[in-house]
Homo-oligomer: A and B are copies of this chain.
Amino acid sequence: MASKPAPQPTPAEEPAPEKGMRAHAKRNHEKLRVAANIVVAEQGADASLEEISRRAGLGSATLYRHYPTRLILLDIVFHDRVEALNAETAPLLTAADPGAALVTWVRTLAEHFTANLGLAKFLMLAEGAKELTSAHAQVRETGKKVLGRAQKAKAATADASIADLLDLVNSIVLANERDAARVRRLLDLAVGGIRR
């Protein structure tokens, strides 16, 4: 058992060997991620970056080094949530009743959006920046198919595109993000229509 394998004579003036630096940076990365999760949960997509670095115990410039843009940071924060949303809506693609599936799709989105403050705005920002990763693109793709199936079954108006539908959901969520019951009520109204 060669327990001490001839350590490289690392100069004293260097704070740590390269491997140690990377490990240190990695720990900071992680600290920032954890802090971002907390602060974004509290403040949403517009969370103060200063506050995030403060909670991580680091300077704000370090946050910028690790996450050059807000969108990149939000992408890390919401990655798992987007995947969970996709997993939950996937079965709707083969559901027996396409009309009911569409309603469920809208309600599931609303649930995830109100349960995760900032998620709706993040998806909007990601679309606007055309930085769609596979995860976001899949939200839209699933929605498109669910809507298409409902339209083919004459269970949804042919007028609406997936862009319209996502925009409608996002608008209602953004304006009422902290009131899940209200979001659900307004979405049900919009899906059912006001006029008779």
Among the listed stretches A57-65, A77-85, A167-175, which one makes contact with chain B, having 4 or more residues with CB under 8 Å of it? A167-175
Interface residues of A in 162-196 (CB under 8 A from B): 164-165, 167-168, 170-172, 174-176, 182, 185-186, 189-196
CB-based contact A195/B155 at 8 Å: yes
Knowing A175-B174, A196-B155, A196-B156 are in contact, say whether A168-B191 is a contact too (CB < 8 A).
no
CB-based contact B165/A194 at 8 Å: yes
Knowing A167-B176, A170-B175, A175-B175 are in contact, say whether A157-B192 is a contact too (CB < 8 A).
yes
Q: Which residues of B contact A193 (CB under 8 A)?
A: 157, 190-195
Knowing A174-B174, A175-B174 are in contact, say whether A167-B182 is a contact too (CB < 8 A).
yes
Q: Which residues of B contact A155 (CB under 8 A)?
A: 195-196
Majority SS of interface residues in chain A? Answer: helix
Q: Give A123 to B126 CA distance when docked, in angstroms.
A: 30
CB-based contact A195/B102 at 8 Å: yes
A159 within 8 A of B: yes
Q: Give A15 to B24 CA distance when docked, in angstroms.
A: 66
Q: Give A103 to B195 CA distance when docked, in angstroms.
A: 8
Identify the 8 closest CB pairs spanning chains A and B, nearest first: A193-B193, A171-B175, A190-B190, A191-B194, A171-B171, A171-B172, A192-B193, A191-B195
13 contacts between A and B (CB under 8 A): A99-B195, A102-B194, A150-B195, A156-B195, A157-B193, A159-B192, A160-B189, A165-B194, A168-B189, A170-B175, A174-B174, A174-B175, A189-B190
